[in-house]
Each structure stands twice: as structure tokens, then as C-alpha cells.
Amino acid sequence: MSHVHNFSAGPCILPQEVLEEASQAVKSWDNHGLSLVEMSHRSKAFVAAMEECRALTKELLELPDRFEILYLQGGASLAFLTAAMNFLPEGGQAAYADTGTWSAKAIKEAKHAGRVNVLTSSKDDKYNHIPEVADVDGDNAYLHITTNNTIFGTQYAHMPQTTAPLVADMSSDMMSRRFDPEPFALIYGGVQKNMGPAGAVMYAVDRARLGQTGRSIPSYLDLEVQLGKDSMFNTPPVFSVYTTLLTLRWLKALGGVEAIQARNEAKSGLLYGEIDRNPLFEGHAQIGSRSHMNATFRLVDDSHAATFDDAWNKANINGLKGHRSVGGYRASMYNALPLESVQVLVDVMKEFERTHG
Ligand SMILES: *Cc1c(COP(=O)(O)O)cnc(C)c1O
């Protein structure tokens, strides 16, 4: 089979060596004589893997001690509700920035827990930019942001400066760039965008801020309960957690988040350079809001779509079709995507200009 250049938005590309080690562990895990997926999650070996995964997450994100890490189920979609249940006080309100489909879903779920104050929205502009957020006053328990908008290809260049603590969905840019954790109370993200196979969602939570909502929280959604059980309140998604651990080891070995950020910026720089240079293409996101992870673009003349689609398919490129709500194309350039794959796409775009320009 020839090499596929995988630009899929999620689940997404993972390092080849991680996939090899994970598949070996499914057959027979190290010297335990059993498959990873047929062993007790309370076995010494798996508990050690979970603990290493939690510790490595904290280390790679350079989080201060006040943060604790959980790997749970339900994806980011359940975290929308969990975040509000744990941080929105009974009778209180929280501020939300509406920057895309996932933000809108976070807002919808938070309404199950209390009043939601949508401070700003770029919906009327097809979510093509990250709107400014004014300071958030003390009536709001937190400001919720979606740091990278996977579908529309926008990303916060800088985190908003507010006095309210930040709660963030980082599903699609987790571990892709450094950030200052200081303003955050909670960070969460489904692992399947940049860290591992689907099944687990990561929470990094400031433990001291829990338990202040005055509400009764169902056990699974109560982050204090989950922390009290060291992320083992119930059976964790063992394969997803273990493979995430392997990806984090891979990331650490290549120099951590700072090193991958430089690679990611080289990849996005290469592609955006071509989108801006090539007269046959135009970007969707405004330049100051462009995502390093998901680049959205389209053909200026859509009548060429069938031939362009044929060209990138022939180059063994996968997953380039844009989300149905935006149309056009979306190139997702997660951590494990090599620069060479971006070069292949850029070469296809250049050749397309030569034949159709
Ligand atoms: C994919 C995605 C989600 C949804 O994640 P699930 O784990 O499938 O619930 C939420 N937010 C963002 C930013 C995403 O990219």
C-alpha cells in the first residue's frame, strides 16, 4: 500500500511508531502475558500507565501544581455539561464566546446548568474570525472559550485577558502550542484530535476551585468524585488512555510542546503561504485568526472542483474535504502530520495552477 497523507480532522493521524507499539500491546502487553484490553484496569500495570499518562500530561503542558489531570469518557461533548456543572454556581451565570459549531454546542449544554451570557459571536460572518472579548465582569463565574475552531479553521492567537477565570475546550489544539496556564480554571479536550485514539477526554482542573457551586452533581460528572478516585471511578477507556500515553512519550522524546509548535508553525506557514500566493485559492479564516491546526480554503472558481479533487486524490491525500457547513477544503495538520505531507499538498496546488491558471 502506498503512503497516505492524512489530513483528517478527527479522529486523526497518529505517529506510526505509536500505532505499532499500541497494536503490539493489544496482542500482548509487554511481559504481562495478556492483551492490554483483557487486563483489569485495576492491575498494577494499568494503574501505573494511567498515573504516567496523567503526570506526563501535566509536565508537557507545563501546568502548575494546582492542576490535576483526569482521563474520562463522554468526549468533549459531555465535558460541555461537566464544565458547567462544576463551575457554574446554582443561580449564577457564566460568559461564553461563540466562535464556531463546538462553541455553540458548549453554550447549549451549559444552559442545562444555569444562565449563559454569550458575550460575543462571529456567527454572522460564518465564524471566519475570533472576535475580541471585552473584560468579563464578576457576575460571570468564568469565561468559556474554544481555543481552536476545528470546523472553521480559526484559533485564538492570544488567550483573552479577563479577570474571570477561563474554561477552555482545547480539543483540537491541545499539545500543539505552549500557552500560559495562569488564567485557567479548567481545560478539556477529546484526545482524538491530537493525542490518541477516540475514547478518552482529558480534563486539567484546578482542584481548589471545585465544590463551590452549591449544586448537587451526579457522580460521574462530579470532578471532585473523579479526582477522589484518581481517574478510576469506573472502568476507564484503557486502549485510548494507553495509546495517549504512548503519544505523549513520543512528544516528550522529540522535545515537547515547544518543539512540536515550531514544526506546526512551519507546516501551517507553508500551506497558508501557498493559499495566499496561488490565485486559484482563497482562505476562509481572516489572517489574524488563522488556525495552525486546521486550514480552511476554497477554490475561487468552484467549477474546477472535480478536477482538483481528482488531483489530490491521485496524490494519496486523505480527508481534505471541508466540513459541510463551510464547504471547500480543510487541511488538518495535527502534531503527527509530517511537513512532507503538507509539501505534497502544496505541490498539487502549484501543479493545478500550472494546468488551470
Ligand atoms: C471534535 C471536537 C469536539 C467534540 O469532541 P467529542 O470528543 O467527539 O465529543 C469538541 N470541541 C472541539 C473543538 C472539537 O474539535
Q: Which of 211, 210, 191, 209 is nearest to 199 (CA)?
A: 191
Beta carbon of 284 within 6 Å of any ligand 1 atom: no
Q: What is the mean pLDDT of each run of 10 residues along the chain (357 residues)?
A: 87 96 97 96 97 98 98 98 98 97 98 96 97 89 98 97 95 98 98 97 98 97 98 98 98 98 98 98 98 98 96 97 95 98 98 93
> Which of 30, 325, 341 lies closest to 153 in space, CA to CA?
325
- Residue 134, pLDDT score: 83
109 lines ligand 1 (CB under 6 A): no
Three-state secondary structure string covering 94-155: EEEEECCHHHHHHHHHHCCCCEEEEEEECHHHCCCCCCCCCCCCCCEEEEEEECEECCCCEE
Q: Spell out the domain ranges in the chain.
A: 16-254, 256-356
CA–CA dist 346, 180 (Å, integer) = 33
Q: Is 99 in the pocket of ligand 1 (CB under 6 A)?
A: no
Ligand 1 atom at shortest distance from the alpha carbon of 201: 7
Catalytic residues: 102, 169, 193
**What pLDDT score does 2 carry?**
61
Contacts of 280 (CB under 8 A, 6+ apart): 299, 300, 301, 304, 349, 352, 353, 356, 357
Decide if 258 contacts 73 (C-beta within 8 A): no
Question: What is the distance between the alpha carbons of residues 244 and 260, in angstroms, rounded to a whole number?
Answer: 16
Task: Give the pLDDT score at 137.
Answer: 83
- The Cα 249–Cα 297 span in angstroms is 33
Q: In whole angstroms, what is the distance from residue 283 CA to residue 272 CA?
A: 8
86 closest CA partner among 229, 235, 227: 227
Residues 209-223 pLDDT 10s: 999 999 999 999 999
pLDDT at 87: 98
Residue of 130, 172, 291 with the most ligand 1 atoms within 8 Å of its CB, for mutation: 172
| Phi, psi for residue 58 in degrees, rounded to 5 | -65, -40
For 115-156, the pLDDT digits (tens) are 999 999 999 999 999 999 988 988 999 999 999 999 999 999
Residue 146 CB less than 6 A away from ligand 1 = yes
Q: Give the number of other CB atoms < 10 A from CB of residue 253.
A: 10
Whether the link from the prior residue into 11 is cis, omega within 30° of 0, is yes
Separation of alpha carbons 352 and 349, rounded Å = 5
* Angle, CA of 191, 147 and 273, to the nearest 5°: 100
User: Which ligand 1 atom is the nearest neighbour of the CA of 77?
Assistant: 9
Residue 200 CA, ligand 1 centroid: distance in Å: 11
Return the ligand 1 atom nearest residue 150 CA. Answer: 15
pLDDT at 129: 98
The finding on whether 73 has its CB within 6 A of some atom of ligand 1 is: no
Distance 13 CA to ligand 1 centre (A): 16
Ligand 1 atom nearest to CA at 80: 10
Distance from the CA of 306 to the center of ligand 1, in angstroms? 30
Q: What is the 75 CA–ligand 1 centroid distance (Å)?
A: 7
pTM of model > 0.95:
yes
User: Which atom of ligand 1 is nearest the CA belonging to 148?
Assistant: 13
Q: Is the CB of 140 under 6 A from ligand 1?
A: no
Instruction: Classify domain 256-356 by CATH architecture.
Output: Alpha-Beta Complex (3.90)
Residue identifier of the C-alpha nearest atom 5 of ligand 1: 76
What kind of fold does domain 16-254 have according to CATH? Aspartate Aminotransferase; domain 2 (3.40.640)
How close is the Cα of 73 to the center of ligand 1, in Å? 12
The predicted structure's pLDDT at residue 138:
83
Q: Is 155 in the pocket of ligand 1 (CB under 6 A)?
A: no
Distance 177 CA to ligand 1 centre (A): 18
